[in-house]
Amino acid sequence: MRRILIIDDEDDIREVAALSLEATAGWEILAAHSGLEGIRAAAQERPDAILMDVMMPGMDGPTTFRQMQQNPDIARIPVLLLTAKVQGVDQRRFADLGVAGVLFKPFDPMTLAQEISHALGWKD
């Protein structure tokens, strides 16, 4: 069973994504409401992938990702950024970070698991 860590400061986004991934793919979901909490959860739980919001107060998604890359225990966990920003310059900036992919808000709860699997090359 896949384990996904969702890092998002918005409760409703975390809950919809979690319910969606549990219901459509049967994945186990871990959740964090901030970048710092997400780093701790990733280090403790070692999820198969991380779905992380770009815009969060305190430490945003790109900053959180860069911090994760400093920790060899979690640097290899693939990270997908979740963003409402769809402009090309933002997409290139996110891709240049080295994340595994970028997904866009609003997302379709019925296809979110497929989008994640496709972005990560998962075949199950």
Is the separation of the CB atoms in 66 and 81 below 8 Å? Answer: no
Cis peptide bond upstream of 106, omega within 30? yes
Q: Please, what are the domains in the chain?
A: 3-87+102-120 (3.40.50.2300)
Amino acid at position 99, single letter: V
Q: Which of 21, 2, 30 is nearest to 103 (CA)?
A: 21
Chain segment 6-61, per-residue pLDDT in tens: 999 999 999 999 999 999 999 999 999 999 999 999 999 999 999 999 999 999 99
Q: What is the mean pLDDT of the chain?
A: 93
Q: Of 24, 8, 40, which Cα lies nearest the Cα of 116? A: 24
Contact 4, 30 (CB under 8 A): yes
Whether 87 has a pLDDT exceeding 70, the answer reads no
Coil vs helix vs strand at 99: coil
Contact 50, 4 (CB under 8 A): yes
**CA atoms of 76 and 80, how far apart (whole Å):** 12
Which band of pLDDT confidence, cut at 50, 70 and 90, is reported for residue 91? low
Three-state secondary structure call for residue 60: coil
